[in-house]
Structure 1
């Protein structure tokens, strides 16, 4: 059993894929039923199919971030400024030989597109990030960077991955 693109800590998902190899003959419906009977509450198998794509085909990931601040209007303007900046610089963990080092990286290049607005009591950021083997941005790193750069305390947050896409923008399955 292997997961296509593991989730970052603190991120929920509505679109996880898991590659399961079985040795017995079993219908897709039987596998789905057995898995759902064994899984904890809140985790369900929605679909079973055989021709599973290679995880190297994942190129993008869509997320929904929800923030709440004491002053959402001010926070919205500050977040827009961060996302519209020419560069968004962070210290990112990397390797140099066998040593772990931090290197300054512009994460703006990992943001494909976004839309941000205030809905009800939340600031909602819909964003597509590069994801996968070749180019990948941890959604938590983006969140932490936004909070650091706007210098405002948040009341509440959630980050949810809602889609995995291939290079030609087809849903990863």
Structure 2
């Protein structure tokens, strides 16, 4: 394991503070997509970035924002590499990121135990309400905290979110899907 230099740690902090272009309430560090910063010489840096899913349209904006920030801090040449392995997972979202999602009105992804694959079941677009007694791990409403929610659409404003509605307060909300 290679230990990061003080400059690499500083640049990682700067790049990690860049807001996500689709969810600007989160930084790239909180989202867990920024993997590493490698300084090459005195003013050249390589950045490893893992998209939330292959083909994520936000990766280009993330890369440009990282380049801009690091160049403004003296790096003449910045190369942002897309790294697909290990794949990003919602487990990479920090606890602070999960808190911010909830405060922003988006139900954060549920925390999984272990590294088992996320089960995927296909069914109708709209599903029956999720009641806490029937589901051991329900999606809670970020507005009122109720576990009585229903899935309205498997996709929302982005492919990584689903649209749900709370049956207690009747408010719709996004749920960042587990991946």
TM (norm. structure 1) is 0.31
Higher relative contact order (CA 8 A, sep 6+): 1
Tell me the TM-score normalized by structure 2. Answer: 0.30
Higher strand share: 1
